Amino acid sequence: MSIYKGVFTDTALQNIRVMLEKIAMDDRVKLQFQPQADLLAPFIANANKQVDVVLGSLGKMKKPVAEVEWINACEIDDQACTNCTEGGNELSTNTKTYEIDICREVPFTVTEYPFLKNDFDFPMLVAQGFMKADMLLAEYFGDQSIAFLNTNKGVNALAPGTNRGCISGTDTYISAAYWNAELMGYFSRARSSNRFGNPYLLSGANLHESSIIANFNAGNSEGKGAQAMFGSMPIYFDEHTVDSVNTPTLITYMIQPGTYAVANKAYYNPTPIQYQEDKRWSMASKFIPGFEYDVHYSNTCASANGFPVHNFVVKLNAGIYINPEACDDNNTGILAFRCGDCP
């Protein structure tokens, strides 16, 4: 495949896509591009699925926005019995429009000249550039997910107890000595007191080693109880993302599925579109489930020896949104538990 004289054909792109698949199947090569963002799969899987990205209007400009639909049952209440009075406040589904406000890009450049005299070819280099861009954008979106959780924390309705810790604002403090399998009993009580249905836990280092040891000891009679405790609620660990965003604080989140929505928008189709000297297309993320990126391509004659230079930009457009119809402003569906003593 030739890319000389600055030509970037659809065949060249197809060869790059084939190389991407080869990289994805090669565990040794893929290892250097694996993002440290284990939270992405459960975070997206537990989001509200009623999301449409449409051309809407925010302010004076028309641009793609996310329309998110939630059920509103907050206005229903009980009352004293009445004689033959029927009907009441109406259940509704409410749609709220949000801006797609997360934008991040990874640019990189490939010069043709080196390929005249080395053992690597153009598709391999560009494919690795795309893989690295995907890794960086996945890690960035993971960081944004934790920032979103921190912004939308609710207030815990169940105090941990005077010996265990306390509640201060939207944080529940639990002393380090209590972070073991038995803490799952408290989390179960917190689930009920906060009216969570089937929440999951998202944690960094908190409980991670205890959970691993419990699995190792599951075959021992004395270890079955700890494993059963950890199995009482889905729990996902991502030490890199959760702890790096919150450093030096160690936080574990309890999250009710469907309490937030996630949107992603790629503006172009997988088939490249020519815009004068530019080409643009979309590519699927291998690391963020269901996400797509836009790719912008152009070339210039910018190298010292006159060979073409190929420029790529991989762009992420996305958004994360909290349920706007929560019946209790203090109950957002997200709780944060900190490892540490009361302030």
Place of tokens 């969570």: 196
Q: Is 193 helix (H, G, I), strand (E, B) or coil?
A: helix
Q: What is the pLDDT of residue 328?
A: 80
**Exposure pattern of 328-340 as b/e (b: 16+ CB <10 Å)?**
eeebbbbbbbbbe
For 211, phi and psi rounded to 5 degrees?
A: -65, -40
Q: How far apart are CA 234 and CA 211, in angstroms?
A: 12
User: Please, what sign has the CA dihedral across residues 330, 332, 337, 338?
Assistant: negative
Number of domains in the chain: 1
Give burial (CB, 10 Å; 0-12/13-18/19+) of 105: middle
Query: Taking residues 215-230, what's their average pLDDT?
Result: 83
Give the pair of three-digit tokens for residue 335: 């709780």
H helices of 152-238, in order, are 183-193, 208-216, 224-230
Measured on CA atoms in the order 159, 161, 167, 173, is the torsion positive or negative?
A: negative
The answer to whether residue 59 scores a pLDDT higher than 50 is: no
- Identify any residues that bridge with 298 across adjacent strands, giving them in sequence order: 311
Residue 135 lies in a domain: yes
Q: Can you give the residue range of the structural domain that contains 113?
A: 1-47+104-343
According to DSSP, the residues that pair with 99 across neighbouring strands are: 65
pLDDT value of position 177:
95
Domain membership of residue 53 (yes or no) is no
Q: What three-state secondary structure class fits 210?
A: helix
Q: Is residue 291 part of a domain?
A: yes
Q: Which residues have CB under 8 Å from 250's CB, separation 6+?
A: 204, 205, 206, 243, 338, 339, 340
The type of residue at 288 is I
* Distances, alpha carbon 187 to alpha carbons 109, 196, 334, in Å: 50, 11, 13
Helix/strand number for the chain, H first, E second: 8, 15
pLDDT at 317 exceeding the cut of 80: yes
pLDDT band at 60 (very low <50, low <70, confident <90, very high): very low
Assess whether pLDDT exceeds 90 at residue 110: no
Residue 138 pLDDT > 60, yes or no? yes
More confident of the two residues 227 and 201? 201
Q: Is residue 176 pLDDT above 50, yes or no?
A: yes
Rounded Cα distance, 285 and 292, in Å: 5
Q: Is residue 64 part of a domain?
A: no
CA angle 252, 188, 211 (to 5 degrees): 50
**Token pair of 6 as six digits:** 């600055």
Average pLDDT over all residues of the chain: 84
Cβ atoms 282, 130 nearer than 8 A:
no
SS (HEC) of 297-331? EEEECCCCCCCCEEEEEEEEEEEEEECCCCCCCCC
Q: Per-residue DSSP letters for 143-155?
A: HHHHHHHHHT---
Structure confidence at residue 275 (pLDDT) = 79
- Counting beta carbons within 10 angstroms of the beta carbon of residue 103, is it exposed (0 to 12), middle (13 to 18) or buried (19 or more)? exposed
Q: Locate 241 and state its tokens.
A: 């993302």
Strands 171-174 and 334-339: parallel
- Write down the pTM of the prediction: 0.86
pLDDT bin (cut points 50, 70, 90) of residue 127 is confident
**Within-domain flag for 67:** no
> Is the pLDDT reported for residue 252 higher than 80?
yes
Q: Is residue 210 part of a domain?
A: yes
Residue 85 lies in a domain: no
Residue with tokens 């105090």: 159
CA–CA separation, 281 vs 274, rounded Å? 9
List the single range of 14-18, 157-161, 208-212, 316-320 with lowest mean pLDDT: 14-18
Altogether, the residues listed in the chain come to a count of: 343
